[in-house]
Amino acid sequence: MNCKKSEFTLDTNITYLNCAYMSPLMQRVEEAGIKGIKNKRQPNLISGQDFFTETNELRREFAQLINCEKPENCVIIPSVSYGMANVAKNLKLKKGDNIIVVGEQFPSNVYPWMEVAQKAEAEIKTISPPDIKTGRGEQWNKEILGSIDERTKLVACGHIHWADGTIFDLRSIRQKTYEVGAWLVVDATQSLGALPFSIQQLNPDALIAAGYKSLMGPYSIGMAYYGSALSDGCPIEQNWINRFDSENFSNLINYNEHYQPGALRYEVGEHSNFILVPMMLEAIKTLNEWKPENIQQYLTELVEKPISLLREAGFIIEETKYRASNLFGIRLAEHHQMNMLKTKLLDSNIIVSYRGDAIRVSPNVYNNSDDLHKLVQVLTSN
């Protein structure tokens, strides 16, 4: 796979290594949004069928991206918190049960569990990263697995950690949740599109992802997968389009007590967004063309040498097996000064993020070896 910088409209004066904050829009995604805006000029040309056509196509493309056999298990959501709230509403908890979350997890994958745990007098067990410099990812995964017990009803974690790219061993975690009868809910916002994900292999009860990061879509739209454990549940929102036979506009005032089948009940109201849906659709179609495994390979090769050079300079970066290729944290040795490095990066127009004690670097297909070489030069220069 070649660099896709030409597919984007990035400022040539900056080095953008911050997809984990927000991806730039591909030109074709931008064009799809503009077309959607223009179509709204003439609403008489928007038919009742148009409320369903592109959303159905978007579900099919997303199902392909995550290797899911049933597109009807894939739904459109506005945010990660919305997707998680649907799970939280249907989670059966009682006093003494527990929910496992990982330390320093993004708030949208923590607050929903705090609320239901408090109501049920259940426990939130937070598995913090070990305070070690080597073998951190491996030990963290061992501690997560060791925390799951017969009282665990749900494990909520990312595919990778949003702050430093630590990879979580979802296969092992899923096997342990099977053994104790717990649900597994995965926030894949920081990985989906850049890393392969297979519903067939991992079979989570829910997979949630915002659209504006590695999925390369716009803000305020995301995608979710809900498995069979949630197929008969109750959504957080009661809207017309999620009710059975909502496609029949002439029959809408004959109120229907039944939802659309399976996961479709969990979609947000007005999910037929005539601007955001075509943008998200174009983004995911492109990712399916490029293929996440090719993107992962491109990024793995892109960061391999720069990471090696940074380690030689004393920076601490997780070993490859437990670190994503599209997002990694650079931790400092004792002689490094974070404020000085921030200033140097800013002065060099290198855009990254800072999360906890790590410099978070998140390249993607629009980056090339020159971008990473510049990062290494700035961080290692005296």
CA distance 362 to 345: 14
First-to-final CA distance of the chain: 35
pLDDT of residue 174: 98
Nearest to 359, CA basis, from 381, 333, 322, 335: 333
Rounded to two decimals, the pTM is: 0.95
pLDDT of residue 133: 82
Q: What is the mean pLDDT of each run of 10 residues along the chain (382 residues)?
A: 97 97 98 96 91 95 97 97 98 97 94 96 97 91 98 98 95 98 98 98 98 98 97 92 84 83 93 96 98 98 97 93 96 86 96 91 98 97 84
CA distance 193 to 177: 25
Tokens standing for residue 110: 């923590």
pLDDT of residue 255: 87
User: Contact at 8 Å (CB) between 63 and 207?
Assistant: no
Longest pairwise C-alpha distance within the chain: 73
> How many Cβ atoms from other residues are within 10 Å of residue 317's Cβ?
21
Distance (Å) of CA 264 to CA 56, 230, 259: 11, 11, 8
> How many Cβ atoms from other residues are within 10 Å of residue 87's Cβ?
25
